[in-house]
A = this chain, B = another copy of it.
């Protein structure tokens, strides 16, 4: 079977993570979401929760930048580092994603993977989105977030993902031209979205 690399970008609550996991299972290839963060944490020396939180942020202002330089003033091999924390984590993620794509078939969720691998002809880039009311329901049932807080949570996560993506890529998050396939999980549901991605890859 030829190498298959699928990147999945997704709106919060759209089921993109679940779809990515199911596609990886169907195609019997590794799935990188939390696992990618664990490798970055291990290689960089940053705690996993820092990688998780900062890895989808942007260096927002000078004060923040100074603060993160004080906390993380040295890189993982002890060199003085002048880059902001999100910049350092982005650099680790980018290198890891490029290495993964060179060595194996896999599904990668988030982390600007579509942009990092934009010139790799073996890649399929997918964007998953959905109606806000369906995303609210999914966030409430899967992430145990109270109903009233779900919309605020979704809009906040999407805003951070958009800012992070646009800061590091210079592209518009969720614009069709960055992806090969964009699927509305509200219309199709998780199983059909999985089927559309995996069946075509299996052709």
Interface residues of A (CB under 8 A from B): 124, 127, 129, 174, 176-177, 179-184, 187-188, 192, 195-196, 199-200, 203
Contacts and interface: CB of A to CB of B under 8 A. Distances in A.
A129 B179 CA distance: 10
Contacts of A179: 182, 184
Given A176-B182, A180-B183, A181-B183, 15 more contacts: A124-B187, A127-B176, A127-B182, A129-B177, A174-B176, A176-B184, A179-B182, A180-B187, A180-B188, A181-B184, A182-B182, A188-B200, A192-B200, A195-B200, A199-B199
- Work out how many copies of this chain go into the complex: 2
Nearest to A203: B192
A74 B39 CA distance: 71
The 8 closest A-B pairs by CB, nearest first: A182-B182, A180-B187, A180-B184, A176-B182, A129-B176, A174-B176, A196-B196, A176-B176
A196 B180 CA distance: 13
A195 B196 CA distance: 10
Contacts of A199: 199
Contacts of A187: 124, 180-181
Contacts of A200: 188, 192, 195-196
Nearest to A183: B181
A188 B203 CA distance: 11
Nearest to A172: B175
A73 to B, nearest CB: 41
A148 to B, nearest CB: 24
A126 to B, nearest CB: 10
A182 B127 CA distance: 9
A26 to B, nearest CB: 16
A54 B180 CA distance: 32
Contacts of A174: 176
Nearest to A195: B200
Contacts of A188: 180-181, 200
